[in-house]
Amino acid sequence: AIARGEAKRGPLRDAATLLDECGVIVAVADPRLGQLLDDMRWRELFIESRDDWGRRIAARTLGHALMETGLAPHLGWCGKALIVEVGEDFFGLDGDGQTALLDAELAARLDDDGFLASPRALCPLPLLGIPGWWPDNEDPAFYDNADYFRPTRRAKSATVTA
């Protein structure tokens, strides 16, 4: 629909905008780790699975606004994660190889409008919780901040209309 000369925004465009501005690609070789992220089970993801980071799960920033904020990170710095399942061999590649694989995977998937159909396809990811990204996260008490490590998404499910 056109309103005042502009195309009306919809969920597909909203999702694309979020990915462009604050997207983080999260490569997972273990679907359980992706599920922990989607379920916002922070302690399990960041503390109990700490050794998996860089070996079975990795985050790559994509969003331009997210990277700008990263110049002076602060508590509250959060991205919108797109989980991409990869093979175990992904983590044996160097950085350029990983980037090339993720680029090809995203290029293939983004041709499908159903792949990123709404903002709900992206998970919140408090970036300072990622092991190695912030010195304070070495202390497990860092993850007790429920304002930053929210326990659930505010709108857990979208309203479905027939």
Query: In the chain, what are the domain boundaries?
Result: 10-142
* pLDDT tens for each residue of 83-118: 999 999 999 999 999 999 999 998 988 878 788 877
Q: Residue 155 pLDDT more than 60?
A: no
Coil vs helix vs strand at 11: helix
Q: Tell me, what's the pLDDT at 119?
A: 81
Tens-place pLDDT, residues 23-62: 999 999 999 999 999 999 999 999 999 999 999 999 999 9
